[in-house]
Structure 1
Amino acid sequence: MDVYSSEEQQVEAIKRFWKEYGMTIVAGTILGLGGLYGFRYYQGQQLSQAEQASAGFEQLLVAQEQQTEAWYDDAERYISNHEKTAYATFAAMLKARDAVLSGDYSLAEQQLAWVITQTGDPVIDAIARLRLARVHLQQQQYSQALAQLQTAMPESFQLQQQELKGDIFLAQGDASAAKQAYQLAKSTVGAEANQLLKIKLDELAHIQVEGML
């Protein structure tokens, strides 16, 4: 069962961005450091490593899209060899996605938890937390799912964050808390286009709510 929603499109956009501009950004940063501090050897070494990471990620994408038998092992080696790069977090999320599709939730949890600990990017962190919360929800691990949603997220993710909280509360049988979460989701950016959220609130119209979450 696919437990992802619109953040999958955001990951695809990130992948396209890095494929088109990643090396330019990395090279520019390294060249800037080199010009500032004169680290010419460091500059050349880091640029070479960045090029290798980029080329390796391109090969990994091909293997993942073709679903070759060695895809998981290749991804694990790549992540281990380039764990300090943004590419490694993308590789881990791809691996987690395929693990979910194959029903291996334990592997998905492991990969997404690793991304959360490694990334310093609030967007990647939010995507990983939303995905991990959905994996926990799928396994009826409600407290673990809610724990992933307690972290502040960028505004563009708050709709998904609150709606997912509502889904978790509803799965727990707490319709009042679910309605509160859905109401908070309704007040966030982009909610007007979310017809499913409207349906969820309509179905809970008879529930009385006091206070806010």
Structure 2
Amino acid sequence: MAFDLQEQEQIAELKAWWKDWGKYLAAVLAAAGIGYLGWQGWSAYQTSDAQSAAEIYAKAELLGNDAAKLKAEAQKLQNEYGSTGFAARATLLAAKASASNGDFKEAALQLQWVIGHAGEAGLRDAARLRLAAVNIDLKQYDAALAALKGREEAASTALFAEASGDVLAEKGDVAGARDAYKQALAKLDKNAPNYPFVEVKLAALGNV
């Protein structure tokens, strides 16, 4: 597929944007439901322990990207209220802050805790997508692919396919990335916010 100069420039700009932000989009989209899941968690756990956990989580939400404080709050929830969904949610916040501060190894450890302990499949899926993105930053491509293997929620299938394409593209497996992006497009609604970006990523691979 040939592109004229303007199209090539647009693709180059989008590729540059994706290099900085694209690998996080799938994780962001998956995590967008965490706030709603938080409300579900509040409704489901009307016990004193859960209420205490919710109070700690609410405080954690106000900490922004303070990785050290978020880590402390997350660990408190893990140790004292690990069976509640708020522990996993706080740990996701801590992992995000760690990654934002460039501590990808710490972020990976925190995300692995969520994957191993979260009771809600949606939270585990969000953590797996984020772990794949973190491992891309660490250039641990096989580890990134391993994070994406296994069963995910049906609603996350397209995001996992797209994330696999991102990893394979970074790894240099153009054919594998192309197949993964095609799978993502086949599963995405054409009105989905990331649909056009997946199209661009697929086109940028060329037809070789």
Corresponding residue for residue 120 of structure 2: 121
Aligned residue identity for 1:151: G
Q: Deviations over 1:152-186 (max 9, x none)?
A: 21222122211111121111212111111111111
Secondary structure of 1:148's match?
helix
Q: Supply the distance in 2 between the matched residues of 1:137 and 1:55 (Cα, whole angstroms).
A: 34
Give me the identity figure in percent. Answer: 25
Corresponding residue for residue 61 of structure 1: 61
Shift of 1:9: 4.9
Q: How does 1:9-24 map to 2 (within 5 A)?
A: 9-18=29-38, 20-24=39-43
Greater CA radius of gyration, 1 or 2?
A: 1
Q: Supply the distance in 1 between the matched residues of 2:173 and 2:137 (Cα, whole angstroms).
A: 17
Q: Residue 81 and residue 66 in structure 1: after superposition, are their counterparts in 2 closer, same or farther (change >3 A)? A: same
Secondary structure of 1:120's match?
coil
Corresponding residue for residue 5 of structure 1: 25
TM-score if structure 2 supplies the norm length? 0.79
Q: Supply the distance in 2 between the matched residues of 1:6 and 1:175 (Cα, whole angstroms).
A: 19
Indicate whether 1:84 and 2:83 are aligned: yes
Note if contact 2:54-2:86 (Cα within 8 Å) is conserved in structure 1: yes
Q: Supply the distance in 2 between the matched residues of 1:68 and 1:94 (Cα, whole angstroms).
A: 9
Q: How does 1:29-178 map to 2 (within 5 A)?
A: 47-62=47-62, 64-65=63-64, 67=66, 70-178=69-177
Structure 1 residues not aligned, in runs of 5+ = 28-46, 208-213
Q: Supply the distance in 2 between the matched residues of 1:114 and 1:14 (Cα, whole angstroms).
A: 17
Shift of 1:66: 7.9
Q: Residue 176 and residue 129 in structure 1: after superposition, are their counterparts in 2 closer, same or farther (change >3 A)? A: same
Note if contact 1:82-1:88 (Cα within 8 Å) is conserved in structure 2: yes
Q: Supply the distance in 2 between the matched residues of 1:12 and 1:203 (Cα, whole angstroms).
A: 27
Q: Supply the distance in 1 between the matched residues of 2:155 and 2:78 (Cα, whole angstroms).
A: 28
Of structures 1 and 2, the one scoring higher in RCO (CA 8 A, sep 6+) is 2
Root-mean-square deviation (CA, aligned residues, Å) is 2.3
Structure 2 residues not aligned, in runs of 5+ = 1-19
Shift of 1:121: 1.6
Corresponding residue for residue 199 of structure 1: 200
